[in-house]
Amino acid sequence: MSLAPSAPAAERPSSLEETQPGRVAPIDRSLAPAVLTLAAFGALWAVVAALAGLAASLQSHLPGFLAGEPLLFGRLLAVEHTLLTFGWLTNAGLAFALWAAHRLGKVELRVSWAPVLGALGWNLALAFGACALLAGRGTGLAWLELPRAFGPFLTACFLVVALWVASAFSRRHTGHVFVSQWYILAAILVFPVVHLVSQAMVLWFPAAGVVQAVVAAWHAQHLAVLFLGSLALASLHLVIPKALGAPLRSYYLAPVGFWTFLAFGTWSGTASLVGSPVPAWAQSVGVVGAALLFVPVLIVSLSLLPTLVAGGPSGKGSAPLRFATLGALAFLLWGAASAVLPFRSVSALLRFTDVEVAHAALGLQGFVGFSLLAGLYYLLPRVTGRAWPSPALVAAHHACALLGLLGLVVTLAGHGWLQSSGASPEAGLAWNAAASLFRFLLLLGAVAFLLNLLLLLVARPARRDLAQASAR
């Protein structure tokens, strides 16, 4: 396997099958059923998750809203988190991974009904799981909210899709292994192993004492960073050079960034347990791992951000690049916050405040969400052979997503600082109301994307260059 510095040039959109008007490449045609199924379900769950988050936020500052259901607040938060991570982000990540693995390997998808079946099973289980959470049958553990019976089935459905991603890598017709492929392979290997081990040790055969807390923290960190984060970085490493038609700068650093990301991301899980009854050495390992995680964040950012700056005007107005830019910036900010927040003095002040919620939103909805949106905005016109039907909806999605997330993160961080000072709960009502407003913007953005995707699926083939289609 070679990761030569010249490899990104091979990822430029230069083949005739990508640039002829109204034409869909054979590879994309074979991928269309599975990719479109995953993308459509992901967009749908993004709307439902945003609705659940908005409802929970409204309940926090409007005493009369859903007053007859006093326990609904926690259930809505569990539904929001589950559908955001396993619904929207995982579906979008798998859609991108399946497309990128076959595109970069230059192989068609075989037995295309199998990943479609896996996608349908995954999303059917999520629908029943969300109903179970609303009924109060959740576990109460972050990233493990669903009842334990859903774990093995979800893992089996995931493997049905992931095996076809791995198959594309093994059948590839290219000499190079691109960095995007490395991140994709890491992601599809992490999820089944980590999820099954954690399910077994926490829900099926609970470990004794604080071991459960350590395993739960390890599970959350691996899924957030090494699974979803790897898929997001795969998207950024592919979309940016392809959309700009230029290789990544300092590409020789890419393998260093990849391996340090895996190494330090593995050891940073217990950083969330600072101040708990977990042994001090385990907490310290997590703090050091979280601080060192900023090393690969900086290395990757030194490759992605200068490429965007030096790319010139080519493609700067395109939706893929706009979301990729937001994802790359959010990645840098999230990495800096991740390195600082676990320190004991900082954690003692800000732990259990909305600062932690702001940090999670910056990572999941900012870094991961924006990066995967860049991938979907890039690949879906190529899979369907059509331009995005409504430039206005694309612009609305970008504006609402940017303003909504930026406002939400700032508002939650400000409220968290207020909480750390010991202010009364009544003093935070205005902050909660502002958070609801920004969550409403995020909901509008998710609805705009879903509507545009549905229009894309039913629109007639556009007689235009696909390179221009992706710029919409």
Nearest-5° Cα angle at 411, 405 to 414: 140
Q: Exposure of 39 by Cβ count < 10 A (0-12 exposed, 13-18 middle, 19+ buried)?
A: buried
Q: Give which of 379, 321, 373, 387 is closest to 99, Cα–Cα.
A: 379
Nearest-5° Cα angle at 401, 131 to 54: 35
Q: Give which of 157, 179, 145 is closest to 94, Cα–Cα.
A: 157
| Largest pairwise CA distance in the chain | 64
Contacts with 8 (C-beta within 8 Å, 6 or more apart), sequence order: 178, 241, 247, 248, 251
Asked if 331 contacts 367 with a C-beta cutoff of 8 angstroms, the reply is yes
Contacts with 425 (C-beta within 8 Å, 6 or more apart), sequence order: none
Residue 63 and residue 433: Cα distance in Å, rounded?
12
Asked if 294 contacts 339 with a C-beta cutoff of 8 angstroms, the reply is yes
Domain boundaries of the chain, sorted by first residue? 23-470
Asked if 273 contacts 286 with a C-beta cutoff of 8 angstroms, the reply is yes
Q: Write out the CATH class of domain 23-470.
A: mainly alpha
Residue 471 and residue 382: Cα distance in Å, rounded?
12
Q: Tens digit of pLDDT per residue, the chain (472 long)? A: 344 333 444 344 333 234 343 456 899 999 999 999 999 999 999 999 999 999 999 988 887 777 666 668 889 999 999 999 999 999 999 999 999 999 999 999 989 899 999 999 999 999 999 999 999 999 999 999 999 999 999 999 999 999 999 999 999 988 788 999 999 999 999 999 999 999 999 999 999 889 999 999 999 999 999 999 999 999 999 999 999 988 888 888 899 999 999 999 999 989 999 988 999 999 999 999 999 999 999 999 999 999 998 865 555 578 999 999 999 999 999 999 999 999 999 999 998 899 999 999 999 999 999 999 999 999 999 999 999 999 999 999 999 999 999 999 999 999 999 998 887 777 788 999 999 999 999 999 999 999 999 999 997 654 444 444 444 4
Alpha helices in 230-368 (DSSP H): 230-244, 254-267, 280-292, 294-310, 319-340, 344-350, 354-361
